[in-house]
Structure 1
Amino acid sequence: MLDRLISFLQRMPGPPAARSEHHEDDPRLAAAALLVHLMDADGVRLDVEREKLAEALTRGYGLEGRDLQKFIARAETAERESVDLYAFTSVLKRHLDEQARIEFIGIMWEMVFADGDLSELEDNVVWRVAELIGVDRRDRIAMRQRANPDDSTGTEH
């Protein structure tokens, strides 16, 4: 999962994360804010989730130390201050092509399954983000099964 997230972040368009001060149209910050939202969806942010996000941002954006902490804080602030997911999904929809949007949904599923558990709330967040960025049900389910091969039912919660 981590290598896939890092590769995705490295290919994401936009200014270098450390220099991105205006988050309104920064796809890198939008993606990070959505991942923060997803980590918090079930009401519990586990260390494994935090560590995976921090490592991915370090390797994907070249952020370390203070810059990394500032970027995560900006993503958390942006997520906390947003009224809805549209603020972030509209940025991703504008900046990412269809395949990149599908890949982002796959990364979200991998983040969901990182702790070995799927909550209905996390499932709902991925579903809503997929709808907002134009990823259809078939691709969303395929990415879910790819992230968790044991999920052979293909059904959603």
Structure 2
Amino acid sequence: MTEFAPALMDQGNGDGVLIARSLIAAYEAAHYGADLPSGRMALEIGKPCPPTDALPVGTRLAVVTAWNPFSNVLSDTENASRHEALVEAIYVARLAWYPASGGDPAGEWEPEISAAVVDPSDELLDQWMIRFGQNAVVVAVVGGLAQLRLHPWAVIVDG
């Protein structure tokens, strides 16, 4: 199993994971989507997550990426390796998932390859954010609103 966390744990310098308000705003403005058997499901923070044949009302869906830890851009090769490790972790957890992505609607940063994981626990999402160095994941209960779940050690700072 590939591990990534030790090299990334220092991001918060012992004070937690520092996340600028402007970065949170960028995550909130981003467009996310999952490629379901019935087609692409769009997810936007604060907007409803509609039910589909694959995801009935009440199903929990989380869009998780391993790309660009703590928003530090890595090469496509490094990101692909990290994504493979995330997919392995999803299989180990025995959860269903669909290909997904998240991107900036203005095109200032490239879409990140992600996984839309069905019914993950908060504990598991927190473990993955720690392991893969992610500031946040998108979580929605089908029939409810999509929202950000911040890193368990998040400290929000101005900027």
TM superposition score normalised by structure 1: 0.33
More strand by share: 2
Q: Could you say which structure has the higher helix fraction?
A: 1
If asked which structure has higher relative contact order (CA below 8 Å, sep 6+), I would say 2
The two structures have a TM-score, normalised by structure 2, of 0.33
